[in-house]
Structure 1
Amino acid sequence: MSDFKHRYGPWAVIAGASHGVGAAFAHLLAARGLNCVLVARRAEALAALKSELEVQYAVEVLLVTQDLSHSDATERLIAAVGDREVGLFIYNAGGDPFITRFLDTSVEDWGSLLSLNSLTVMNCSHVFGAPMVARGRGGLLLVGSQAALGGIRKLAMYTATKGFALNLGESLWAEWKDKGVNVLNLLIGTVDTPTMRDAMVKLNIPNALTMSLPKAEDLAQLALDELGNGPTLIHPEDTLSNRASSPGQARRLHVLNKSAKAAVFIGND
């Protein structure tokens, strides 16, 4: 516990913390003694979570109520965090609220999803990652989706933006792995959250409210346990197959091999 707090504390920022996997991360990190910055749009849900964390774990909690799809999202977040030392940044925002064919949603709405899943991810990774690299310790955890691995009908922009985050995370892992900063992409399929259940109901999925789905708490625990084994964890495949031949290990070897080949032309610094 003390080693974890030293490596990833004293503060963790959790973007998308109001419920589901984000809230599960908050509970697990607070239980390990980390103070938490909780970021989401839903003020009431954040306030309730803040109360739970303070009472149960006696940690400090800062609430930041904002929409991460806005162009000034990172600037506002940094202003709220102030001079707090952030040792762990978790980006858990970015679900697709549309789930439509590409032309059935406006360019403006797609632009909002693009900003949420790409621009804000890039900005936050840069802002919070720089001090971690300078200190020689810390972690970046990007909660993504298996949709990042290829195109899917009715999920064009979702797959595209999740692919951006996946490639960013894997590249940062290659750059920071020898500098004491861990980077992990957590690629999940479905998860038992109110957002997921609501989406399934709207899409008239049979047994939408009773279907067995992975629990948010289990996914968050798995991600924290595997944070040092980046760059990518694919759930549930990486928990079911032999670690030496798992999809996540294949991603790791891919990044290492491609980086080594590219070094001939772009340098190895």
Structure 2
Amino acid sequence: MTNFQQKYGQYAVILGAADGLGKQICYKLASLGLDIVCVDYSAEKINQFAATFPNDFPDRQLITLQADLSMDNVTDQIFRVTDAESVGFMSYVACLHQFGRLQETAWKDHQKMLNVNVINFLKCLHHYMGIFAKQSRGGVLNLSSLTGVTASPYNAQYGAGKAYIKSITQAAGYEAEKENIDVMVATLGATSTPTELENQPGGSVGAAIQKIAMTPEKTVNEIFEHFGQVHSYYVGEHPKAQVKKWKTELSEDDVAAYMGRFYE
């Protein structure tokens, strides 16, 4: 048993796990000795993950679960599977956004975003924190974004969801100190994941963003250098500098305008 498994438990549940940052977190946790529950909405991505993971980590157990976190009550399906295992770690990576003016986005799409970014996130956090508190051990890693540090015009609900994840995870982290549970929210800037590459602005703006984007591997390695030491962490030098500038040199309206101009 590795030190990491001894500290946290056997299985890690990763939600939004089959590619990009989620996949990299799975691989990092597997390298640290944890078995993996890979939850993702895409059957194709899950099948690709399941085809490569056993070759890369032959000594680790893998459970895959297709579940669409934009749907109501989908967590019941997830919990039925994971409650049968010894779970000691959870990471919520899943996210959903749709660009455009708030009122021009259909309500059904707002509801899907709420389910992924807020409701089902909170259901998972509440459920696994309860398990970890009873065990007096566990680990939680959730991902936020610079869009959650300020308002994010034309991406408003996504930014609000990331702000929610950041705030509630950091608060739960303090509470969990008394329960021997390590809880951390990592706030990311530009990251070269398939989803982010697909949704970046075009032209010179998109090119400039990609020049400063961190790879998933570098992002996750930096996160785990600090996991268990702090409850909130900004990943990468550019996000750290950006947040410092926003807080010391600009008004909140100025920062919101800066974010909005990316998509005008």
The TM tier, using the shorter chain, reads 0.7 to 0.9
Name the residue aligned to 2:8.
Answer: 8
| Contact 2:146–2:239 (Cα < 8 Å) also in 1 | no
In 2 relative to 1, CA 62–157 (structure 1 residues): closer, same or farther, beyond 3 Å? same
Name the residue aligned to 1:256.
Answer: none
| Contact 2:20–2:193 (Cα < 8 Å) also in 1 | yes
Name the residue aligned to 2:74.
Answer: 73
What letter corresponds to residue 66 of structure 1 in structure 2?
A
Q: Alpha-carbon deviation of 1:237?
A: 4.2
Give the aligned CA root-mean-square deviation in angstroms: 2.2
What secondary structure, in the 3-state scheme, does the structure 1 residue paired with 2:21 have? helix
**Aligned pairs, number:** 241
- The separation in 1 between residues aligned to 2:96 and 2:221, in whole angstroms, is 20
Q: Alpha-carbon deviation of 1:108?
A: 1.7
Q: Alpha-carbon deviation of 1:234?
A: 1.1
Name the residue aligned to 1:29.
Answer: 29
Name the residue aligned to 1:172.
Answer: 172
- Which stretches in structure 1 are left out of the alignment for 5+ residues? 251-269
Q: Alpha-carbon deviation of 1:52?
A: 2.1
Q: Alpha-carbon deviation of 1:69?
A: 1.4
- 1:34-73 aligned at under 5 Å gives the runs 34-58=34-58, 59-73=60-74
- The separation in 1 between residues aligned to 2:52 and 2:30, in whole angstroms, is 10
- The separation in 1 between residues aligned to 2:7 and 2:238, in whole angstroms, is 25
What letter corresponds to residue 118 of structure 2 in structure 1?
S
| Contact 2:12–2:36 (Cα < 8 Å) also in 1 | yes
| Contact 1:36–1:60 (Cα < 8 Å) also in 2 | yes
Q: Deviation per CA, 1:18-76: give whole Å up to 9, x if none.
A: 21110101111112221100011111221222232212212111111111111112111
Q: Alpha-carbon deviation of 1:219?
A: 1.1
| Contact 1:9–1:35 (Cα < 8 Å) also in 2 | no
In 2 relative to 1, CA 105–208 (structure 1 residues): closer, same or farther, beyond 3 Å? same
- The separation in 2 between residues aligned to 1:165 and 1:133, in whole angstroms, is 20
Q: Alpha-carbon deviation of 1:217?
A: 0.8
Residue 185 (1) aligns with residue 221 (2)? no
What letter corresponds to residue 87 of structure 1 in structure 2?
G
- The separation in 2 between residues aligned to 1:186 and 1:3, in whole angstroms, is 22
Residue 225 (1) aligns with residue 225 (2)? yes
- The separation in 2 between residues aligned to 1:41 and 1:232, in whole angstroms, is 27
| Contact 1:173–1:182 (Cα < 8 Å) also in 2 | yes
- The separation in 2 between residues aligned to 1:239 and 1:44, in whole angstroms, is 33
| Contact 1:197–1:209 (Cα < 8 Å) also in 2 | no
Q: Which of 17-26 and 206-215 deviates more?
A: 206-215
Residue 204 (1) aligns with residue 202 (2)? yes
- The separation in 2 between residues aligned to 1:185 and 1:236, in whole angstroms, is 14
Find runs of 4+ consecutive structure 1 residues off by over 6 angstroms: 238-241
- The separation in 1 between residues aligned to 2:7 and 2:216, in whole angstroms, is 24
| Contact 2:187–2:234 (Cα < 8 Å) also in 1 | yes
Q: Percent identity, aligned pairs only?
A: 22
Residue 134 (1) aligns with residue 134 (2)? yes
What secondary structure, in the 3-state scheme, does the structure 1 residue paired with 2:95 have? coil
Q: Deviation per CA, 1:173-232: give whole Å up to 9, x if none.
A: 1111121101111111111011111112xx424385793320001111222222212311
- The separation in 2 between residues aligned to 1:206 and 1:66, in whole angstroms, is 37
Q: Alpha-carbon deviation of 1:83?
A: 1.4
In 2 relative to 1, CA 76–205 (structure 1 residues): closer, same or farther, beyond 3 Å? farther
